[in-house]
Structure 1
């Protein structure tokens, strides 16, 4: 019975309390958009996903990143902040990050008393979603550490030499992690801009709300710094793998160069004796074949000894 009562209270909170100052607008709901444009003057088409200010509303777009299952989703949310209402242009389907904002407003009902308080809670939820995305990218990078360490050592767990093809999957995952972190950095810049505009747009002085927004701006900057750290980390790992690939390629070229240097003199001798001369005196020698064979071996050993003394075999 208590659980049913709590659920009913939550539904009443969502429908009655939140809608006093917050109007979520699905991006595919053209009819509601037309009504809001006529009654309130909200025109998202004129804003066109940019910071835009009219007499009644301030438009602030934020490209949000959030984790859904094992995938990272990316959606654009446009806030239309007015003196009485906050209208959010958001996906038609259920937008998961705003659930935490609603839960926060249930814990702190004072936030629902103004459009600015509601927008603070929504921005806070988007920042929390970005932080979870960064932790997801960090865990993905940690999972690749063993693969990168084996690559730098040159051998896998079975002692088999690692080739370039073996690192394609790791490189692909690192590139995906870098893209996630880079997008999160972009999101944090947009969140910080929206939070600063929110702070500046508070008409009636509210020390409590201003303090919360100031903390939010600091938290957004903290997540941005964390994203920067992870971005530097993934770039370092990428550079390490690329350096290993360059070394691997240089080793392959070195092997072929040594093989060419060793076999070039014997090949020259073999080419010489393959010519159709009318008279070759060594062919009449008793030990001509042995002498020619030894000369060929010496011609092969001389460059090999030279290369080894130079340390090019290491």
Structure 2
């Protein structure tokens, strides 16, 4: 699918593949899951080659940021599906050819949808260079929204984790904490994807400042510097959130260990309480002939009384010490 926009942010009608050339007034061509025919249409319009999906996946810096045939090729890794428990990274290609921008993507990050919706207000009367820098700003804003949302959810989760200490049922607490571990892992995955996205966008912003068409425009150069500053601030904030997640993970594991130790303590106390009665019963269960008290009428109740006293003594002692 091809989405076309003119310099005023107005969406243009896309002709069918192979039927006609794209309008010359195109400022931004957004290729979403493009077919070979759609790629050929755009290549005829901008006069340079459009990178394939496999080329976008290349991780070498020289293959992600370069200039060829007078056009600048940039590839950024952008976080998406951040609302779910399994955030992912999508490789987005940018081709800046003269006054036109072409984006190639096989995913639909929310930043693109928001930016396209507000296109008329965002880049009225500008060219592809302005669209590119504003698109990067939109993706950075999206990263900021994800970080803010996750930060609030982590704070709420932290309150829930530490409030479970008042619950008297250790088994229920342990089950809840074990379920919490998967939620923490989801938050950590999303934050890691955001950090990866910010790192990639930082490289793109740095490369843009080296382009003559950007460096010669004071407003665009200043915007790129502002973008680099925003990325640095968000990266620091992402590091802070990651530290909170690590602390929450350690705290959850510690609370699980405490609950498990509590169970083991109860089992240990129970063993110690019943150990003396078991010893007495074992002694009188031996088949020796010379055990005079066995023939006495009071032997049985006395033995039971001694067993009860030997069990009650350790119980009261542990109770006094507050071990359970």
| TM > 0.5 | yes
The aligned counterpart of 1:101 is 115
* SS in structure 1 of the partner of residue 286 of structure 2: coil
Matched residue, 2:291: 280
Check conservation: 1:164, 1:245, Cα contact below 8 A: yes
5 Å-filtered alignment, 1:1-314, equals 13-15=10-12, 20-36=26-42, 39-44=47-52, 45-50=54-59, 51=61, 52=63, 53-56=66-69, 57-66=71-80, 74=88, 75-91=90-106, 96-102=110-116, 103=118, 106-109=121-124, 112-113=126-127, 115-155=128-168, 162-203=172-213, 205-304=216-315, 307=318, 311=321, 313=323
Residue pair 2:7, 2:124 contacting (<8 A) in 1 also: no
- In the alignment of these two chains, the number of paired residues is 300
Using structure 2 for the length normalisation, give the TM-score.
0.77
C-alpha deviation, 1:120, in angstroms: 0.5
Secondary structure at 2:12's aligned position in 1? helix
Structure 1 residue ranges without an equivalent (≥5): 1-8
Does structure 2 conserve the Cα–Cα contact (< 8 Å) formed by 1:66 and 1:72?
Answer: no
The structure-2 alpha-carbon separation of the partners of 1:301 and 1:176, relative to structure 1 and needing over 3 Å to count, comes to same
Q: Is the 8 A contact 1:49 1:61 kept in 2?
A: no
Q: Is the 8 A contact 2:50 2:95 kept in 1?
A: yes
The one-character-per-residue Cα deviations of 1:134-164 (angstroms, maximum 9, x if unpaired) are 12212322332442132133359xxx98431
Q: Where does structure 2 lack aligned partners over 5 or more consecutive residues?
A: 1-5, 14-22
CA contact (8 A) 2:76 2:93 kept: yes
Q: Give TM-score scaled by structure 1 length.
A: 0.80
